Amino acid sequence: MTPTHTLIRHLLAAGAAALMAGGAVAQPAALPEGVLRIIVPTTPGSTPDLLARNIAPKLSKALDRNIVVENKVGASGAIGAEAVVRAAPNGATLLLAASTLATGASLQKTPFDAVRDLTPIALLGWNRLALVTHPKTGFKTAADLATAARAAPGKLNYGSPGIGTPNHLTAELFKVKTGVSITHVPYRGSGPQITDILGGQIDMAPLTVIAAEPHVRAGKLVALAITGSKRSRLLPDVPALSEVGIPGVEGDIWYGVFGPKDMAPEMVTRLNKEIGDVMRAEEKSLGAQGFDAESASAEEFRQLMVRDSARWAELIKAQGIKAE
């Protein structure tokens, strides 16, 4: 064999070895055999539950695994989250939760830290919040509400689904940004809160646009503004707070999929891609229901979680908010 042939043989062997090594690194971590679970820490019919049941069949097909949705309710979502925290990091147990994980993190006394003990996998999208009032108040705009609150500090009130919920903290952020005093009335869930705002027992409530829209259309509630900087496609005529000179009230609720900590990066990347593909396919139908689908890398989602946990913890401390 000539020196040239020997050199070529060595180069080919080296190249094959490199390809084999590269292929081994590039292979996604295999999901375990058997049924995969998506834990939802809220009740059937809630937005996280509806999202989970919407994406589960499509994700099941993409991953070639049976997927079941399991509701584990209690302790403001902590029971369901803890079940995932304690699960093996093999992709068999996932959590679909809302930004309550970040808003109430500094209020809850849990044996885990959501930022530290969960792996953010995929952002699903957002629910916008609307500040609504009963028609009898006479308020037509967010400025009307702020003016009335300044004239009688503490006299007006607002309801929320509970202490530490995105709705609660968004209203507190509105108070900070406008310099007003409005009394908080916490409820145990959104149902009683909506009942009382419809009955005029409370003056204002931050509701998801999905919950508020039918009552606004029927004239039973008045939408004063959409929180944040974007209007809602369900209530396109209602201005965002930033449009009316009240910027910085970013309280929209995000939803996402998490796993236990220490998941293999290759598995996280694969799940992020497959979930993102499902959400993009469902974007139009979910949008018609007022849900703004949005994809992000796992790292971008992690950064959102870290930022939100920090900013809400700062607000909770500044406002002296205590757990129930």
- Spatial distance between the Cα atoms of 178 and 142, rounded to a whole number of angstroms: 10
Residue 75 pLDDT: 80
Residue 7 pLDDT: 43
Fold identical between 36-126+253-319 and 129-244?
yes
φ/ψ bin of 125: left (φ > 0), alpha (ψ from -120 to 50), beta (otherwise)? left
Q: State the burial class of residue 318 (Cβ atoms within 10 Å of its Cβ: 0-12, 13-18, 19+).
A: exposed
Residue 300 pLDDT: 97
pLDDT along the chain (324 residues), means of 10: 47 47 53 93 89 95 96 88 96 95 80 93 95 98 97 97 91 97 93 95 96 96 95 94 95 95 96 96 88 94 95 93 83
Q: List phi, psi (to 5°) of 171.
A: -65, -40
DSSP-based three-state secondary structure for 229:
coil
DSSP-based three-state secondary structure for 29:
coil
CB 202, CB 159: distance < 8 Å: yes
Q: Taking the chain, what is the end-to-end CA distance rounded to the nearest angstrom? A: 83
Looking at the domain 36-126+253-319, which fold is it? Answer: D-Maltodextrin-Binding Protein; domain 2 (3.40.190)
Residue 26 pLDDT: 46
Scored b (16 or more CB within 10 A) or e, 72-95 reads beeebbbebbbbbbebebbbbbbb
Residue 209 pLDDT: 93
Residue 103 pLDDT: 82
- For domain 129-244, give the CATH superfamily: Periplasmic binding protein-like II (3.40.190.10)
- What's the pTM value of the predicted model, to 2 decimals? 0.84
- Spatial distance between the Cα atoms of 125 and 292, rounded to a whole number of angstroms: 5
CB 131, CB 103: distance < 8 Å: no
Residue whose token pair is 């005029």: 200
Q: Which residues pair with 70 in a beta bridge?
A: 39
Per-domain residue ranges of the chain: 36-126+253-319, 129-244
Residue 18 pLDDT: 45
